Amino acid sequence: MPLTGNPVPAPYHDYEALLAAESGEFVYPELNENDPAAMCYTSGTTGRPPGVVYSHRSIVLHSMATLIGDCFGINSADVLLPVVPMFHVLSWGLPHAAVMVGSKFVMPGPMLDAESLVELCASEHVTFATGVPTIWLAVLQLLERCPEKRDAVRGMRVGIGGSAAPESMIRAFDRFGVNVIHAWGMTETSPIASVSTLKPHLRSLPEAERYAQRARAGYAIPWVDMRVVDDEGNAVACDAQAMGELQVRGPFITGRYHNREIDPQKFTSDGWLRTGDVVTIDSEGYIKICDRTKDLIKSGGEWISSVDLENAIMAHPSVAEASVIAVPHPKWAERPVAFVVLKPSMALTGKQIEEFIAPHFAKWWLPDEYVFVDAIPRTSTGKFLKRALREMAAKTRETTP
């Protein structure tokens, strides 16, 4: 019988009943390591999202790379909680990694609110959890409001990816005894391709420099090659200043999309994946995600990073979330506009936000407008949906005399 006591409606099946109906020993089929094992679709913003096929070999190699100590350092004593769905890059590949080393694996189900997640961490003694920044912003706000819940997460490791984690978030979690591991990847990279753990000789850096380094997207994990190139295809300087497109290749990085011709806009002639992420890279090999190429703001011929502005705004103690988009401008081509969600019972003006972030940016970087909203639209995987914000801004301009 179903655990709920109610019949399972067709065409679904009760999992426990299916297991109980089976008998005998499972015989593993003979498979070629290069056979397809799974396929996920990208979040494509235009047209039909392309599929990315993962082979048995690529999944095994990706799992091995994420298990090592200088990546996520997962072992059999860990209890894993991925707050990312299986349809989104196989839950970041963590189910396979957990099975490989025998870790306990906890699935959060549909209850992804901060209260439910913190309770789950406590009841299941979670040691490592993953998710996008918006998930952990909500958890952080709960911990700030309810100090009695902090013991539930103390000592945990949290992998954050999908978009850049603000430095202020990493600092705040440190205060609660939670170690944030910043990571970068995409559907096409299986997905983890870089992590930001501090190399031994960087651990003695001054505090501000350590946090700045941890807020970067990190360095390539084993088997991943990275390069950063300008518009002409030339390698940019490894000075943490020069920006270029990040390109990657490796045994678990796709070379083409399912049932599609190789697109030169996505793959170079010499076999590198064009990620569409604009980054800087430093002399240690750590990359910093400045923006997606489609989200960079070009104002007066100069580039503005929406990610840097968002992270600076979210560092304000009264701000819960912020997302920055480009809007058309008759003189400067594009200008930044910030959408801001305040924490409960907080009051703030655009001028106060500008005064807070102004010391960190040139004047022409500062947003032209601060729009206060109740919530920022999200994609199915929890990322900010900037397309919806652009549509909102466009409608506002159409109705403004």
d(CA 273, CA 256): 9
Contacts of 145 (CB under 8 A, 6+ apart): none
Active site residue 188: yes
Strand partners for 377: none
Q: What is the DSSP letter of 132?
A: -
Of the residues 199, 294, 298, 395, only one is catalytic, namely 298
Burial-class residue 268 by CB neighbours within 10 Å (0-12, 13-18, 19+).
middle
- Flag whether pLDDT at 45 surpasses 50: no
The correct CATH number of 297-399 out of 3.40.30.10, 3.30.420.40, 3.30.300.30, 2.60.420.10 is 3.30.300.30
- The token duo for 163 is 């978009």
pLDDT of residue 387: 86
Of the residues 188, 245, 310, 321, only one is catalytic, namely 188
Q: In this structure, are residues 320 and 141 in contact, taking their beta carbons and an 8 Å threshold?
A: yes
Region 190-195: what's the mean pLDDT?
96
Where are the domains positioned within the chain? 30-292, 297-399
pLDDT of residue 395: 79
Of the pLDDT bands very low, low, confident and very high (cuts 50, 70, 90), residue 293 is: confident
- Flag whether pLDDT at 44 surpasses 60: no
- Flag whether pLDDT at 201 surpasses 90: yes
Q: CATH says 30-292 is which class?
A: alpha beta
| 3-class secondary-structure state, position 200 | helix
Of the residues 42, 119, 332, 334, only one is catalytic, namely 42
| H helices present in 150-206, as ranges | 167-175
Of the pLDDT bands very low, low, confident and very high (cuts 50, 70, 90), residue 56 is: very high
> CA nearest 297: which of 267, 323, 268, 265?
323
pLDDT of residue 5: 62
> CA nearest 254: which of 32, 42, 31?
42
Q: In this structure, are residues 321 and 137 in contact, taking their beta carbons and an 8 Å threshold?
A: yes
CA 321 to mean position of chain CA atoms: 15
pLDDT of residue 197: 95
Active site residue 42: yes
Q: What is the DSSP letter of 152?
A: G
Q: Rounded to a whole number, what is the largest CA-CA distance in the chain?
A: 74
Domains 30-292 and 297-399 share a fold: no
Question: pLDDT tens, 124-179?
Answer: 999 999 998 889 989 999 999 999 999 999 999 999 998 888 899 999 999 999 99
- The token duo for 262 is 């190789």
Active site residue 365: no
Active site residue 386: no
Beta strands 333-342; 369-372: pairing state? parallel
Of the residues 45, 115, 294, 303, only one is catalytic, namely 303
